[in-house]
Structure 1
Amino acid sequence: MKNLILFAFLFSICISNAQEFKLTDTYDVTNQRSSGLEDKDTWLVDVIESNNPERHIATLSIADFGLLDEIRISVLSNPDLEDINEILKVTLEYNACCSSTEEFYYLVSNDNDFIALPSIKNEYAYEPISDIHYIFPNQSFGKEGTILRAALQYTETATIKDIKVLRSIAWNDDDFDTEDAITAINY
């Protein structure tokens, strides 16, 4: 069990580094509260700007709060998307018999507006062999003016073996379809 948790932690660090997202204290999570659903261990938290706590970015629902291991906030600067300054990523990491992550991505415009992308969930029973991420133009495997949602396949040494593009979003404005979270399950 400890090996699985350690591997998941190291693997998530490798993925974060591969995507060039950097941990930040520009944003924070606050106002933890119950969702009001008595039969579920679901809590709500707000994502805010650290220097301006009144600036509310999003409210996240945390299912199984007792299994939540960590919340990480990171940014990708200069993603090479028109009128977008950075990408904000909030990662919720859960650990139990299996580990899982839920990632929330927000495009931060030059006018300091926040545009949410559909969240992504990845579940790992053993060693991760694949998971889903967004790839932005300034990253490895990125495509100019396009946001890619892709399934990444890994070798046993956790290097990228294959990428399958699941969706390609041509970026020219903030008008694209919203949809439910995308989930990758590895068993």
Structure 2
Amino acid sequence: MYITNAQEFQLTDKYDVTNQRSSGQQEEDIWLVDVIVTNNPESHVATLSISDFGLLDEIRISVLSNPDLEDINEILKVTVEYNACCSSTEEYYYLVSNDNDFISLPGIKNEYAYEPITDIHYIFPNQLFGKEGTILRAALQYTETATIKEIKVLRSIAWNDDDFDTEDAITAIN
């Protein structure tokens, strides 16, 4: 069953990135940043590793309210965008429970050599193409006018108020 009240992620200042620091790896340009709740800096969401700090373009934080998942208040998405000869993004998703616990989903990395043709995202029940009680990880294929042409579900995660196993990021390369 597909839900028709599609929602999009909205930029927010409810969360912030702070405490930028070197990872201590002398040879590599790796930096660490903390994602926190803005009005409660002690509320630590995650520590992200920024692999090519010199190529970092921006970090965007957005939320999806009322994702229609049991005991989940919102979805927090942190997008780390890099620009070099080609651009890439790393997306980190956190389910925010009604008790303000943060449950991490495996990260997703998208690389764009030219115009984005295909990229990978999570789709939640209250979004376009969402499925009731399920988190979908899907490859979205676009037309030249940036409308969605096709969706290929890569993984379907039934949500039952559970934790997820961590795994390596899934990468889409165009």
* TM surpasses 0.5: yes
Displacement of 1:174: 2.0
Displacement of 1:47: 0.3
Percent of residue pairs identical? 89
Higher relative contact order (CA 8 A, sep 6+): 2
The structure 1 residue matched to 2:39, chosen from 48, 51, 64, is 51
Residue 63 of structure 2 corresponds to residue 75 of structure 1: yes
The structure 2 residue matched to 1:162, chosen from 113, 125, 150, is 150
Q: How far apart, in 2, do the equivalents of 1:177 and 1:92 lie? A: 22
The structure 2 residue matched to 1:133, chosen from 110, 121, 124, is 121
The structure 2 residue matched to 1:174, chosen from 162, 168, 172, is 162
Q: How far apart, in 2, do the equivalents of 1:162 and 1:148 lie? A: 14
Equivalent residue number for residue 49 of structure 2:
61
TM-score, structure 2 as length reference: 0.95
Tell me the amino acid that sits aligned with residue 128 of structure 2: S
Per the alignment, in what secondary structure is the counterpart of residue 66 of structure 1? helix
Tell me the amino acid that sits aligned with residue 174 of structure 1: D
Tell me the amino acid that sits aligned with residue 112 of structure 2: Y
Residue 88 of structure 2 corresponds to residue 100 of structure 1: yes
Q: How far apart, in 1, do the equivalents of 2:85 and 2:106 lie? A: 26
Per the alignment, in what secondary structure is the counterpart of residue 151 of structure 2? strand
Equivalent residue number for residue 29 of structure 2:
41
Q: How far apart, in 1, do the equivalents of 2:28 and 2:10 lie? A: 33
Deviation string 1:130-175 (CA, Å, 9 cap, x unpaired) is 0000000000000000000000000000000000000000000223
The structure 2 residue matched to 1:150, chosen from 130, 138, 145, is 138
Per the alignment, in what secondary structure is the counterpart of residue 144 of structure 1? coil
Displacement of 1:83: 0.1
Residue 15 of structure 2 corresponds to residue 27 of structure 1: yes
- Following TM superposition, where does structure 1 have runs of at least 4 consecutive aligned residues deviating by more than 4 angstroms? none
Q: Is the 8 A contact 2:105 2:164 kept in 1?
A: no
Per the alignment, in what secondary structure is the counterpart of residue 60 of structure 2? strand
> RMSD across aligned C-alpha pairs, in angstroms?
1.0
TM-score, structure 1 as length reference: 0.89
Per the alignment, in what secondary structure is the counterpart of residue 41 of structure 1? coil
Aligned residues: 169
Q: Is the 8 A contact 2:23 2:30 kept in 1?
A: yes
Select the structure that is richer in helix: 1
Q: How far apart, in 2, do the equivalents of 1:176 and 1:23 lie? A: 25
Mark the runs of 5 or more structure 2 residues left unpaired by the alignment.
Answer: 1-5
Q: How far apart, in 2, do the equivalents of 1:174 and 1:56 lie? A: 20
Q: Is the 8 A contact 2:7 2:126 kept in 1?
A: no
